[in-house]
Amino acid sequence: MHITPLFPNVFAEEALHIDNEQVLNHCIELEKNGVAHDHFRPKGVGFSMDGGWQSGFIDLSHEALQPLISIIQDRIEGFKKNIFMLRDDCDVKIQNGWFNRMCPATQASVELASVEPHRHANYFLSFVYYVKAEPDCGDLIIMPNDHSTEFMIPTAYTSEQNAYNASRHRFIPKTGTLVAFPTWLMHMVGDNHSGTDRISFAVNTKLPHIKDTYRL
């Protein structure tokens, strides 16, 4: 029989070779200056990270971020033309960006050194760059928005996981790695047991017609 994959999603990863120390120092400086994630959130859209610090939507024109932003913009074009087959006049733009610092479980309860399941409503693609990610700092877990696969094909019944039977995708973060995935997918981060902070930089991209109903 001819097999047609229906409604697939994408998860991409890439090791970057940029001045990571420059990005890290910028994050440290922002936190030192008291930048906090303090924008209004509509009722029902909660803070997704516990046990750490999250910056506000920062100035993406800062020189420390330019090598990284340039790479992300290039990868956006690749997704636009080669994966999602968007028209040339569909201008996908980086909408916002922020830093996350998750403290280790030794500095917070195990339940608080993690990121709860959430998605970024009304955006297109999310990119996450791992500024500092030591072993056992908490896996990034991507999940479908419903749990039909998990219920209908229990993992215990499978000999190996693939795109047809998996109920989630687990990515082990590494320092200097960039990942990308559609913002409509649920995702979470496991507990940080690395003994040190886990730091990431994230951006949301947006299609021109999507209204800004929710934040993050």
Q: What percent of the chain has pLDDT over 70?
A: 82
The structural domains of the chain, with segments of one domain joined by +, span: 17-34+49-206
Q: What is the pTM of this model?
A: 0.86
Residue 49 has a pLDDT of 57
Q: Tens digit of pLDDT for each residue in 88-126?
A: 888 999 999 999 998 887 765 545 556 777 888 889 999
What's 98-161 look like in SS3?
Answer: EEEEECCHHHCCHHHCEEEEECCCCCCEEEEEEEECCCCCCCEEEECCCCHHHHHCCHHHCCCC
Residues 182-215: tens digit of each pLDDT: 999 999 998 899 999 999 999 999 998 755 554 4
More confident residue, 36 or 130: 130
Beta carbons of 130 and 173 less than 8 angstroms apart: yes
pLDDT tens figures, 46-82 = 345 566 788 889 999 999 999 999 999 999 999 999 9
CATH homologous superfamily of 17-34+49-206: q2cbj1_9rhob like domain (2.60.120.620)
